[in-house]
Structure 1
């Protein structure tokens, strides 16, 4: 779960040409990657026939791109930690790692996660959100910012964020159903570490965290939307009166 409100929206100091080039390249590559994932979703469900879907699952078709480009987001934690972007490293880490938990700790970790009805829902919401988010950041670095991009960046989340969270929770639910009847990724006593760990319990703990965190992140994005769009409107009004 992530509100996607940090990363490279602004920098603590004006970055040099090399840093700008690096940040632009990273964001441009992420736009391309998530565009590929969105195309794969469209191709899988709309362009291919039932014979194709009978031979390959959505995860089998998209897993390489999802693993590469979602896990590449860990770079954003490094960027924040080294001050290349004006972001809180702790918040950025939480946002990135929570999404990685869905991919690595849920979908990849259980057979049921790969066929969860939440997977296409989450991937669709993630893909559209990330294309807009990384595109916004890349254009911001170039100081080229069409108003439509700003508007979409701070408006589409109203629908996409709840859709994405719904997809993520469905993935968790399918995984916990499997973990409940299997001891996958769990340690039971006695063992040489003299410790116990329940993967099933972990999944439920993470799901319960969505209850307090989702409203906070969602309302935060509304506050960001009001701040950015109102500021942008004031800017456009000033330009008209000059």
Structure 2
């Protein structure tokens, strides 16, 4: 099986990112049951923020045409997550839903999504035949569950931060968070429909390949 150069910087970035999100997934599965909430939140919130901030690289990669990902879609997803990891977890850590299972569901949804996504990109860059079929199926099918779960968790956490933002800072912070929540109305359908369109193309390609092999 032929391979592209392993030292491809973009491939290494994806491999490293998959490993970091895998570490967070490990924490959600293994560490959380041992320490519970809110200890789990305070244990990983800074690590989660640092890893998510690394995704800003993807915005620049899209902006300069290094990758083919749509700029608007990439920016919307990264911005919505940074609102959580920086805006809420760093400045409004008292938000109630950051201290219960909602935060855990958020970490699990994000982590599984990113482990699969970055692994998919890595193998596409390093294997001449592309990513393994199982990984392709996971990439274009898990989003049916993980996207709604992630978005629901995000909105619940932001909602619980509204009174915290107002009492800790000002009413302007509350209204800013409400405005951010309203952006999910056009944002979620845009991101979700993008994945649905991509899934149709990929699944059509898989079925076509399978027929030829048979």
Q: Is the 8 A contact 1:119 1:171 kept in 2?
A: yes
Offset, 1:150: 0.6
* TM, length-normalised to structure 1: 0.78
Equivalent runs, 1:1-242 vs 2, <5 Å = 21-46=8-33, 48=34, 52-53=35-36, 57-113=39-95, 114-115=98-99, 117-143=101-127, 144-180=130-166, 182-184=167-169, 186=170, 198-240=172-214
Q: Is the 8 A contact 1:34 1:131 kept in 2?
A: yes
Q: After the TM superposition, which of the residue ranges 111-120 and 171-180 deviates more from structure 2?
A: 111-120
Offset, 1:83: 1.6
Q: After the TM superposition, which of the residue ranges 121-130 and 138-147 deviates more from structure 2?
A: 138-147
Q: Which runs of 5+ in 2 are unaligned?
A: none
Offset, 1:183: 4.3
Q: Is the 8 A contact 1:27 1:138 kept in 2?
A: yes
Offset, 1:177: 2.4
* TM, length-normalised to structure 2: 0.88
CA distance in 2 between counterparts of 1:131 and 1:216 reads 22
Q: Is the 8 A contact 2:121 2:131 kept in 1?
A: no
Q: After the TM superposition, which of the residue ranges 114-123 and 157-166 deviates more from structure 2?
A: 114-123
Q: Is the 8 A contact 2:45 2:85 kept in 1?
A: no
CA distance in 1 between counterparts of 2:74 and 2:87 reads 19
- The Cα offsets for residues 53-87 of structure 1, whole Å up to 9 and x where unpaired, read as 47x61122212321221110001011112221112
Q: List structure 1 runs of 4+ shifted beyond 4 angstroms.
A: none
CA distance in 1 between counterparts of 2:137 and 2:70 reads 24
Distance 1:116 1:45, change over 3 A: closer
Q: Which runs of 5+ in 1 are unaligned?
A: 1-15, 187-196
Q: Is the 8 A contact 2:62 2:71 kept in 1?
A: yes
- The Cα offsets for residues 192-239 of structure 1, whole Å up to 9 and x where unpaired, read as xxxxx8110010011122123223322332221111111122123223
Report which of the two has the higher share of helix.
2
How many pairs were matched up? 207
Q: After the TM superposition, which of the residue ranges 222-231 and 82-91 deviates more from structure 2?
A: 82-91
